[in-house]
Amino acid sequence: MTTKPSVLFVCVHNAGRSQMAAGYLQALSGGRVEVLSAGSAPKDQINPVAIEAMAEEGIDIAANVPKILTTEAVRDSDVVITMGCGDACPVFPGKRYEDWELEDPAGKDLETVRRVRDDIRSRVEALLAEIAPSA
């Protein structure tokens, strides 16, 4: 039996980019991937504009709660995707790290957040095709 790959999405506040990416991977993978998200300095709630943008795609992230980045979360993940968290992410040998340069949707209008969301979706689709191709 093979274990499913795990992906950790990390941004500073865990309120926008990482939550949207996690929402997409959860929805698109159909359970083939374990999905985690965290922030180096998490906010107390998810960005309401990110919630609205994802709802347009039929993905509900409204009940999600920003989480603090832990060393264990990084250690337990196969792939770590950072989004502007700089050196806050611990690095472990043998892990796959990618840094996705994405505009921070915090305080932005819905049109801007949609653009960020669509960029995230295409990156998530490419990642999913690599790490857990459908049968």
Residue 6 a catalytic site member: no
Residue 89 a catalytic site member: yes
DSSP 13: S
Cα 127 to Cα 4, 33, 56, 87, 91: the distances in Å are 14, 11, 22, 22, 20
From the list 85, 102, 124, 128, the catalytic residue is 85
What's the pTM? 0.94
From the list 7, 33, 50, 89, the catalytic residue is 89
pLDDT of residue 135: 63
Does any domain span residue 132? Answer: no
pLDDT of residue 1: 42
Does any domain span residue 51? Answer: yes
Q: For residue 21, give its domain range.
A: 7-127
Output the domain CATH number for residue 13.
Answer: 3.40.50.2300
Does any domain span residue 44? Answer: yes
Q: Where are the alpha helices (DSSP H) in the chain?
A: 17-29, 48-55, 71-75, 110-131
Per-residue pLDDT tens over the stretch 61-117: 999 999 999 999 999 999 999 997 666 667 778 889 999 999 999 999 999 999 999
Does any domain span residue 1? Answer: no
Does any domain span residue 134? Answer: no
- pLDDT band for position 4 (cuts 50, 70, 90): very high
Domain count along the chain: 1
Residue 111 a catalytic site member: no
Does any domain span residue 121? Answer: yes
